[in-house]
């Protein structure tokens, strides 16, 4: 009887080990595509203004192109409405930016993510080794009421060669909105009450298919 119990316990342990391995394999890793170092973008604007956050540009350190499948904003808090996501290729003669009024900004032409979601393998690099060929994400947001609308991070799910990965980039954005006739450039953004404080709300901006023209 003791031998039977031992066999049953061993069988449970083996099954548990198999389940753990399967769970580990099903959980996507970060993979070869990454974004910039952690950053914070803060913008003073008026309620109802559209804004493009361009602080995330994706670089590919692998040997095959990657394809972005989903982009989610983590920690969405306050009067902030996501408008969708567009992409643009770098390098671009127009240069790059961290944030710009409007979505999409006419000064920086971009296309919907569904039309161009490929992160290329770079063919040129800077002297410091950074990739010159990148895919910049333009995340459209709108301030819907006075206050500080914000999000904590950007989560990018992508695939390379049929394998899926997920990368979370701590690139926070704050929209400090007012209804005043004029924006006071000395107003704090973010305010001490909102800096570093986020809800658990998550929004899939990939699902917002129709971006404003």
Pair of tokens at residue 64: 């095959």
In this prediction, residue 92 carries a pLDDT of 80
pLDDT, greater one: 29 or 209? 29
pLDDT digit string, tens, across residues 149-173 = 999 999 999 999 999 999 999 999 9
Which segments within the chain are labelled E, that is strand?
33-34, 39-46, 50-60, 66-76, 80-90, 99-101, 111-112, 118-119, 134-143, 147-151, 153-160, 163-169, 171-178, 201-204
DSSP result, 125-136: B-TTS-BSSEEE
Whether 61 contacts 141, CB under 8 Å: no
Classify the C-alpha dihedral 79-83-84-88 as positive or negative: negative
In this prediction, residue 93 carries a pLDDT of 74
In this prediction, residue 16 carries a pLDDT of 52
Closest to 55 in 3D by CA, of 128, 146, 141: 141
Mean pLDDT of the chain: 86
pLDDT digit string, tens, across residues 45-80 = 999 999 999 999 999 999 999 999 999 999 999 999
Q: For the chain, how big is the Rg over CA atoms in Å?
A: 21
Whether 30 contacts 158, CB under 8 Å: no
Closest to 48 in 3D by CA, of 162, 152, 196, 149: 149
């Amino acid at each position: 009887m003791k031998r039977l119990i031992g066999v049953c316990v061993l069988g449970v342990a083996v099954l548990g080990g198999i389940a753990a391995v399967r769970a580990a394999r099903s959980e996507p890793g970060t993979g070869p595509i990454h974004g910039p170092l952690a950053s914070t973008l803060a913008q003073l604007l008026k309620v109802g203004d559209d804004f493009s956050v361009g602080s995330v540009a994706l670089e590919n350190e692998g040997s095959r192109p990657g394809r972005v499948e989903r982009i989610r904003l983590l920690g969405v808090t306050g009067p902030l409405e996501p408008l969708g996501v567009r992409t643009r290729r770098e390098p671009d003669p127009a240069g790059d930016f961290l944030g710009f009024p409007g979505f999409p900004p006419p000064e920086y032409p971009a296309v919907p993510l569904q039309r161009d979601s490929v992160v290329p393998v770079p063919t040129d690099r800077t002297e410091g080794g950074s990739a010159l060929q990148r895919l910049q994400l333009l995340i459209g947001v709108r301030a819907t009421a006075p206050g500080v609308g914000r999000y904590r991070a950007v989560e990018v799910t992508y695939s390379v060669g049929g394998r899926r990965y997920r990368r979370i980039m701590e690139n926070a954005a704050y929209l400090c909105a007012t209804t005043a006739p004029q924006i006071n450039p000395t107003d704090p953004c973010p305010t001490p009450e909102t800096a570093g404080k986020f809800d658990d709300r998550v929004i899939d901006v990939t699902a917002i298919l129709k971006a404003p023209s």
